[in-house]
Amino acid sequence: MEAKSVSEIPDEGGEWQYEPKWDGFRCLAFKNGSEVHLQSKSGQPLERYFPELVERLQRVKAPDFVVDGEIVVPGPGGALSFDSLLQRIHPAASRVRKLSAETPAIYIVFDIVVAPGGKNISSLPLSGRRAELEKFFEKMLKPIGGFQLSDAATDVATARKWFRGAGRSTDGIMAKRLHAAYDSGHRDAMVKIKPIRTADCVVGGFRYGSKEKVVGSLLLGLYDEAGLLNHVGFCSGLTAKMRQELTPKLQGLIEAPGFTGSAPGGPSRWTTERSTQWEPLRPELVVEVDWDHFTNGRFRHGTKFVRWRPDKAPAQCTMEQIHQALGRIK
């Protein structure tokens, strides 16, 4: 079940349940007997990156259930750390095991789709599923440890309080219709509100810096309704260390055409011949950026790097998220 971005907290008495928007990886957890499967928002398996969560779920004394939640990792000082979470997406199993022991992940549950015993309750309204989830959490998950039940409230005053406090372990709030069923892919029953506008973009190319052959800026792309990847702007402001580490990785992904729709433009009075040169990349990397204005199919100014999103599939980076933020989706 997916959410659309809106600019204001919906306030219709008795219609909404509000929750913090946790700063982690969205994850569906499936248990079938002793088998456990963790699925990311993009449909990718996550078990190898979070073995401690798999082990905990195997210990749950209930067969055949499906819960929805967020995987998070606490950082120094107790706040959740997305950087620590990103370190788990590592090819070396030994590294993953080390990190899972040093900084074990927490699974924050906020919905239940299949109740223990294999009973599909996705057609129940959210209010009914929440009651089932609370009972399941208290009886089955809480005694094991490493699980957390997401806060929830139906009064908008609490939602606004959470929104004002976003930034330490959350990045906004969620609002979900109390009477809605769990409908995969549906966006009208669940919305997200963030303090800043962000977008997940495909890195379709890059430019080298003007003084040395290291990455200078990332060229960003979004897919349109026809499935074409269009250039929508650039992201600079990367640290010197990040540029050095990123350069060989991007050089290994160089492959034409990079963008299949509109591509970076040619020279103008503001650019030099060198600054228009760019390297096309295979569309594999996703980056989250924040932005202020979007006009004529592009970010008006350079965007600010927020974080890498290995949990998102490039195909999920569509122009729709910009339209939603601008209020053009009816």
Q: Enumerate the domain spans of the chain.
A: 4-193, 198-325
* Residue 59, SS3 per DSSP: helix
Return d(Cα 208, Cα 201) in angstroms, integer: 19
In tens digits, the chain (330 residues) has pLDDT values of 889 888 899 998 789 999 999 989 999 999 999 999 999 988 999 999 999 999 999 999 998 999 999 999 998 777 888 888 999 998 899 999 999 999 999 999 999 999 999 999 999 999 999 999 999 999 999 999 999 999 999 999 999 999 988 876 788 999 999 999 999 876 789 999 988 889 999 999 999 998 889 999 999 999 999 999 999 999 988 899 999 999 999 999 999 999 999 999 744 333 444 446 899 999 999 999 999 788 889 998 879 999 999 999 999 999 998 988 776 433
Catalytic residue among 4, 21, 176, 312: 21
Give catalytic status of residue 21 as yes or no.
yes
| Cα-Cα end-to-end distance for the chain | 19
Which segments of 103-155 does DSSP mark as H helices, in order?
126-136
CATH class of the 198-325 domain in this structure: mainly beta
Tokens 């219609």: give the residue.
15
Q: Tell me if the bond preceding 283 is cis, omega within 30° of 0.
A: no
Identify the residue whose tokens are 């306030």.
11
Candidates 141, 137, 55; CA nearest to 104 is 55
Superfamily of domain 4-193, CATH level 4: DNA ligase/mRNA capping enzyme (3.30.470.30)
